[in-house]
């Protein structure tokens, strides 16, 4: 890990750092590429930003259950105008008025999550100044305590208290999944470039071999030991090798740019990838894998949250379409005075209580339709969650089978790679000794290249399946620990 961080630092510091220029070739292992991607890729930054956004949304939700203190007012509210004044005889006269109505309100509110109501505590003062008559009066409530409580209504606060913690927990698990996806995508791009580089190396070797064979063929043709047709076939092999080399260069450059773009490298950084041939050894119990996925993945939380949100919509439809009753009451102190301190001396008590209700009598089935719609959606969500759970477990089982099959194939592919390479070397020597036809030599060459590619693709499949299993379970089976 320390070594990889040193390499990362060297890549992102100026060219003179660590005594290497930007044109130097950097050798990177698969794990080092993944570490760089998780630290610098745009996908990793996006995952971290989404997690931070979810954190602040959760903080906002939590604040709904804490006291809220606010101060508001109007200072000043000056008015100079003419107003109509009805005279004793019924006529209207417009009188000039110049006044100021300033007010200040201090309030403390607290939501009640259990009932969906709200209690509040407040104090306010109003100053009226009549500039024409040079009169100032104060009116205010030194203290007001009140309750606003809906009855038989939908309680959004209670439902949010069930759902929002799940949403937050889901976001934390999703961040881990997103980072594992970054690792998996980095692995995919790593092998795309690695395969392109290996194909380029194969093309270069094939070009060299074809050129060598063609030169030998020209010597044989000069001695009359090789027909014109066979010499032309050798020349065609050289031309095809040149075309293959050109295409391999294009493919390698494209894969190189894709990987650099993903992990945040400059185009000037030269990368040489190290083939990850040391496979991890571990045993996986299917039931353990499924259990870890249920405990660790955000999708398991998502299932529970989706059902709760469907229940919430049913409760909302019932609460908003039936009997509505609202209880409102206050108790406090009030006073008027010529000076501000007088409001707080010998204040008189004041009370207010109000019970309002609304009963739907005839809505042509509107309320019932909304409730039935919500209940129908609840059944649909339940069916989707049930199917998603089946797919959830099936995906894990499929990945485990793939991983087991790939592990079995790896030894065979590795042995085939070595065998095909040895056979080609023998075939090449036999051709030089006129003991093998050009057709058989080309067959040996094709088998060598195919065996090499099969081995690399099996390595890619193994690592992709391994990282996919980490994504699906958020569990590291090599260390038997949660990610």
pLDDT at 44 over 80: yes
SS3 sequence, 326-384?
Answer: EEEEEEEEEEEECCHHHHHCCCEEEEEEEEEEECCCCCCCHHHHHHHHHHHHHHHHHHH
When pLDDT is averaged across residues 289-299 and rounded to a whole number, the result is: 87
pLDDT of residue 17: 31
In a 10 Å sphere around its CB, with 0-12 CB exposed, 13-18 middle and 19+ buried, how is residue 33 labelled? buried
| CA quadruple 170, 172, 174, 179: dihedral, nearest 10 | -170
Provide the CB-side half-sphere exposure for 466 (13 A, CA): 22
Tell me the Cα Rg of the chain: 39
pLDDT of residue 448: 86
Provide the CB-side half-sphere exposure for 331 (13 A, CA): 0
226 in Cβ contact with 220 (< 8 Å): yes
Instruction: Give tens-digit pLDDT for 117-127.
Output: 999 999 999 99
- Contacts by 218-226 with C-beta closer than 8 Å and gap 24+? 220/434, 225/434
Range scoring the smallest mean pLDDT among 26-35, 206-215, 221-230: 221-230
Whether the bond into 99 is cis, omega within 30 of 0: no
pLDDT at 12 over 80: no
Which residues, at least 6 apart from 370, have a Cβ–Cβ distance to it below 8 Å?
Answer: 317, 320, 321
When pLDDT is averaged across residues 406-424 and rounded to a whole number, the result is: 86
Residue 469: which H helix or E strand, with range? helix 438-473
pLDDT of residue 213: 83
pLDDT at 239 over 90: yes
Task: Determine the Cα–Cα distance for residues 361 and 141; give it in Å rounded to an integer.
Answer: 40
pLDDT of residue 5: 36
Task: Determine the Cα–Cα distance for residues 288 and 291; give it in Å rounded to an integer.
Answer: 5
Helix axes 228-263, 30-40, angle to 10 degrees: 40
Report the relative pairing of strands 324-337 and 270-273 from DSSP bridges.
unpaired
- Residue 184: name the closest of 34, 45, 49, 397 by CA: 34
pLDDT of residue 23: 53
118 in Cβ contact with 109 (< 8 Å): yes
In a 10 Å sphere around its CB, with 0-12 CB exposed, 13-18 middle and 19+ buried, how is residue 136 labelled? middle
Instruction: Give tens-digit pLDDT for 348-372.
Output: 888 888 888 888 887 788 888 888 9
Report the relative pairing of strands 118-130 and 135-151 from DSSP bridges.
antiparallel
When pLDDT is averaged across residues 219-243 and rounded to a whole number, the result is: 86
Helix axes 298-320, 156-222, angle to 10 degrees: 140
When pLDDT is averaged across residues 247-255 and rounded to a whole number, the result is: 92
Range scoring the smallest mean pLDDT among 148-152, 242-246, 345-349: 345-349
Task: Determine the Cα–Cα distance for residues 349 and 63; give it in Å rounded to an integer.
Answer: 33
- Residue 431: name the closest of 245, 203, 233, 240 by CA: 233
How would you label 379-408 residue by residue, b for 16+ Cβ within 10 Å and e otherwise? eebeeebeeeeeebbeebeebbebbeebbe
């Amino acid at each position: 890990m320390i070594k990889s961080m040193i390499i990362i630092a060297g890549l992102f510091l100026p060219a003179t750092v660590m005594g290497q220029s930007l044109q130097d070739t950097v050798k990177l292992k698969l794990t080092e590429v993944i570490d760089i991607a998780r630290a610098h890729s745009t996908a990793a930054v996006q995952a971290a930003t989404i997690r931070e956004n979810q954190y602040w949304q959760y903080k906002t939700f939590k604040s709904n259950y804490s006291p809220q203190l606010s101060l508001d007012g109007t200072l000043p509210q000056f008015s100079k105008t003419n107003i109509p004044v009805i005279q004793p005889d019924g006529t209207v006269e417009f009188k000039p008025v110049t006044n100021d109505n300033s007010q200040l309100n201090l309030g403390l509110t607290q939501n009640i999550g259990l009932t969906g109501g709200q209690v509040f505590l407040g104090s306010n003062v109003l100053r009226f100044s009549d500039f024409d008559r040079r009169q100032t009066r104060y009116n205010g409530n030194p203290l007001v305590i009140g309750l606003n409580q809906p009855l038989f209504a939908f309680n959004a606060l209670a439902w949010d208290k069930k759902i929002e913690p799940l949403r937050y927990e889901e976001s934390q698990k999703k961040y881990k999944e997103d980072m594992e996806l970054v690792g998996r995508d980095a692995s995919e791009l790593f092998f795309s470039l690695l395969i392109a580089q290996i194909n380029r190396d194969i093309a270069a070797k094939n070009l060299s071999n074809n050129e060598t064979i063609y030169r030998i063929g020209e010597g044989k043709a000069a001695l009359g030991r090789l027909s014109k047709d066979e010499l032309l076939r050798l020349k065609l092999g050289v031309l095809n090798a040149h075309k293959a080399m050109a295409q391999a260069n294009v493919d390698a450059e494209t894969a190189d740019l894709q990987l650099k773009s993903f992990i945040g490298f400059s185009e000037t950084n030269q990368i040489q990838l190290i083939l990850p041939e040391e496979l991890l050894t571990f045993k996986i119990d299917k039931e353990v894998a499924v259990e870890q996925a249920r405990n660790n993945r955000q999708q398991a939380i998502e299932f529970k949250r989706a059902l709760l949100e469907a229940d919430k919509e049913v409760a909302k439809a019932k609460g908003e379409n039936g009997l509505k009753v609202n209880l409102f009451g206050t108790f406090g102190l009030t006073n008027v005075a010529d000076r501000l301190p007088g409001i707080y001396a010998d204040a008189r008590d004041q009370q207010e209580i109000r019970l309002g209700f609304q009963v739907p009598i005839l809505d042509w089935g509107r309320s019932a339709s909304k409730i039935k719609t919500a209940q129908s959606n609840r059944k649909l969500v339940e069916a989707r969650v049930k199917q998603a759970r089946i797919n959830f477990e099936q995906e894990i089982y499929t990945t485990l089978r793939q991983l087991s099959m790939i592990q079995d194939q790896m030894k065979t592919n590795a042995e085939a790679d070595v065998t095909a390479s040895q056979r080609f070397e023998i075939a090449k020597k036999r051709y030089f000794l006129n003991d093998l036809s050009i057709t058989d030599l080309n067959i040996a060459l094709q088998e060598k290249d195919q065996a090499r590619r099969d081995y690399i693709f099996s390595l890619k499949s193994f690592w992709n399946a391994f990282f996919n299993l980490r994504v699906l379970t958020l569990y590291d089976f090599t260390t038997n620990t949660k990610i």
